[in-house]
Amino acid sequence: MLSACLLTTAIGIVATIQQAFANVGTTCTANGNECVSLTGAYCDLDADGGAKCACAAIYKASDDGNTTCIPKNCAVGNAVASNSVCRARDSKSKCDGDVCICKPTFVLTGADDSDGCALVIGSSCAGDFDCEHIQHAVCPTIAEGCACPATFTASKDRLTCVPNKIGANCTMEGEIGSTCTNNGGECADIANSVCDISGDRSVCACPATHTEGTAQNTCIEKNCTEDTTCATSDDNAICSDKKCGCDVTFEISNSKLCQKRVIGSSCKNGGECAGIASAVCDSFICSCPATHTANAGGSQCTTKISDNAIGPAVSVILLFTCFLSTFLR
C-alpha cells in the first residue's frame, strides 16, 4: 500500500518539476507562456511535430543536451568580434563583447513565433519614424519612448497598440451636452471632456475641475491660486501650475469627479500608480507585476500563489498522507 502511494506521489512531483522548468523542445501552445522561464526562447508554433520551445535567432541550444538557450558567439572564426556575424542572424542585433545581443531599444519579447529582436512600446525613440514598426504607435517625447495614442492600449507583449474599445480608432463628433454612453467614445473629440452618467441623461460634459470652452468643443482647466480653490469643486482636486486638476494618484471619472486610479488606469512614470498597493507603471498602464494579481476592484495587487508553488506543496501533503494512512492502519 505504502509503495503504491509513494510511486503515485513521485510521479506527481516529477510532472510538477517538468511544468516548472521548460527546456528547448518542450511542448508549448499559443499564448500558453510555457517558454517564459527559458531565457532567449520563444514558442515555435510551426515546429516539426507540433509547437515547441526554441531558441531565438541570436541564441543557440546549449551543448548539455539542449536544455537551455545561450547567446551565439560573434567572435568564432574571426580575429576580432564582428557585428556582421550577429546581423546575419538578426538585422536588429549587434556584437557585444563576444556574444550577440539586441541593438539598443530592441528586445527579445519571447512572444509566439517571435525569434528576433523587436521594438516594443516603451523603446526609446527620436521621432515617430522610430516607432513605425509598432502598429499605431507614436513617439510623443524622447523620455516616454514609443507609446500608444490616447484611444489605444499596448498589447500584453508590447508589440502593438490595440483599440481601447470597438470604434475607438474612428472619428466621432460631439459637443458639450451631446448624448453619450459609458465608454462609448462619443466625447473623444472634445478635449478633456467626460461622458457624465450621473444624471437622468448621459451627456458629454466638462469635469468639475474644468469649465466649458466658448466653442463647445473643449474643456478648459479652471484657474487657481491654491488647493482650496479647486477643492470647492472636487475634494480630490489640487492646484498645480495655477490650474485645477486631480491629485496625481487620481483621475477624472464619468461622474465628473476625481477618483482613485486602479489597475488599468493610465500612467506616465509610476507615481500615478502609488495609490494602488504593489502596482507598477508598465507600458503607460497601472499594472500588477508578474508575481501579483489584481483584486476585484483593481485597487491593489496581491501576491500570487503560483502553480509552481502549489504543485510541490500538494506533493508534500500527499506524501505525508501516505505515511499517516499507512501507520494508522
User: How does pLDDT run across 96-118, given as a tens digit for each residue?
Assistant: 888 899 887 788 877 788 888 88
Do residues 9 and 322 touch, judged by C-beta distance below 8 A? yes
Whole-angstrom distance, CA of residue 273 vs CA of residue 256: 20
3-state secondary structure of 233: coil
Kindly give the interhelix angle for 2-20 and 307-327, rounded to the nearest 10 degrees.
Answer: 170
pLDDT of residue 63: 83
Whole-angstrom distance, CA of residue 266 vs CA of residue 27: 36
Nearby residues of 158 by Cβ (< 8 Å), 6 or more positions away = 109, 120, 121, 122, 283
The one-character DSSP state at 158 is S
pLDDT of residue 8: 44
Q: Which cell goes with 76? A: 568564432
Whole-angstrom distance, CA of residue 274 vs CA of residue 271: 5
Whole-angstrom distance, CA of residue 322 vs CA of residue 7: 10
Q: Which cell goes with 163? A: 483599440
C-alpha closest to that of 71 among 90, 98, 44:
98
Q: What is the pLDDT of residues 247-295, one digit of tens each?
A: 999 988 877 889 999 988 888 876 899 999 999 988 888 889 888 888 8
pLDDT of residue 323: 58
Whole-angstrom distance, CA of residue 212 vs CA of residue 245: 15
In this predicted structure, which of 11-25, 83-97, 186-200, 225-239 has the lowest mean pLDDT?
A: 11-25
pLDDT of residue 216: 55
Q: What is the reported pTM?
A: 0.42
Kindly compute the dihedral angle of the four CA atoms of residues 265, 266, 269, 274, in this order, to the nearest 10 degrees: -20
pLDDT of residue 152: 73
Whole-angstrom distance, CA of residue 98 vs CA of residue 81: 6
Do residues 297 and 290 touch, judged by C-beta distance below 8 A? no
Determine the average pLDDT of the residues in 148-168: 67
Could you tell me how many helices (H) and strands (E) the chain has, helices first? Answer: 4, 22
